[in-house]
A and B are shown apart, each in its own frame.
Chain A
Amino acid sequence: GQQLNQSPQSMFIQEGEDVSMNCTSSSIFNTWLWYKQDPGEGPVLLIALYKAGELTSNGRLTAQFGITRKDSFLNISASIPSDVGIYFCAGPFTSGTYKYIFGTGTRLKVLA
């Protein structure tokens, strides 16, 4: 079935460092969404991407919609302790549907 694979699975970084993570699919996506989940809570949307090649920022976060439409990237600059959490990519299972699936997640830990 359709899968969204994220890498790395987990990261331990020092406060102030930049972070990069990515999400890949075996099929083309027309929408890429990046969510963050804090412990014990539901995911919250960070950035949404709708066009191949699109680069969008939200504060210290920047995400890109890959040219092939099969991948997306999320970067966090100058990490801070509250960046700790799980980051998920998500998108519609097939084009034109609203059956949204989520990636496997990247667990981020920031060391002060």
Chain B
Amino acid sequence: NAGVTQTPKFRILKIGQSMTLQCAQDMNHNYMYWYRQDPGMGLKLIYYSVGAGITDKGEVPNGYNVSRSTTEDFPLRLELAAPSQTSVYFCASRDGGNTGELFFGEGSRLTVL
């Protein structure tokens, strides 16, 4: 039972490079989320999606883009990477019920030098 799978687990980027963090879930969840967690800090919502074709901004969307072409996948794109984007990125999903439980991936640790 895979749950939420994130790739890559670790990545080092140079300033100005671009990359995509992949997130896939096999639980047929409608809602998917991207959070970032800076060292010693809480989780900040970057973007979220309530279903295929629908995305919306969270608390800290600048410098990122997302797409949701399928229910399973929710990639996060970083354009022109900056040192301020050094963080651990977590993808999460939940179903449409009222339990509120978010299921998290293991995280992707990104360093921008």
Q: Mark B94-111, 1 if CB is under 8 A from A, else 0.
A: 100011111011110000
CB distance from A34 to the nearest CB of B (A): 11
For A92, what are the chain B residues with a Cβ–Cβ distance below 8 Å? 100
Rounded to whole angstroms, the CA-CA distance of A47 and B53 in the bound complex is 31
Which of A14-22, A36-44, A60-68, A71-79 lies on the face that meets chain B?
A36-44
For B74, what are the chain A residues with a Cβ–Cβ distance below 8 Å? none
- Are A98 and B48 in contact, with the CB atoms below 8 A? yes
Which parts of B17-72 form the interface with A (CB within 8 Å)?
Answer: 31, 33, 35, 41-45, 48, 50, 56, 58-59
Rounded to whole angstroms, the CA-CA distance of A35 and B35 in the bound complex is 14
- Are B45 and A101 in contact, with the CB atoms below 8 A? yes
B92 at the interface (CB under 8 A from A): yes
| Total residues of chain A contacting the partner, CB 8 A | 25
- Are B101 and A101 in contact, with the CB atoms below 8 A? no
For A27, what are the chain B residues with a Cβ–Cβ distance below 8 Å? none
CB distance from B49 to the nearest CB of A (A): 9
**Told that A42-B90, A98-B48 touch, could you supply 14 new A-B pairs with CB distance under 8 A?**
A1-B59, A31-B98, A33-B102, A42-B105, A44-B104, A50-B100, A99-B48, A99-B58, A100-B45, A101-B45, A101-B59, A102-B42, A104-B41, A105-B42
A-B pairs with lowest CB-CB distance, top 5 = A42-B104, A102-B43, A104-B42, A105-B42, A45-B101
A-B contact pairs, 25 of them (CB 8 A): A1-B59, A31-B100, A33-B101, A33-B102, A41-B107, A42-B92, A42-B104, A43-B90, A43-B102, A45-B102, A48-B100, A50-B100, A90-B102, A91-B100, A98-B31, A98-B94, A99-B56, A99-B58, A100-B100, A100-B102, A101-B45, A101-B58, A102-B35, A102-B42, A102-B44
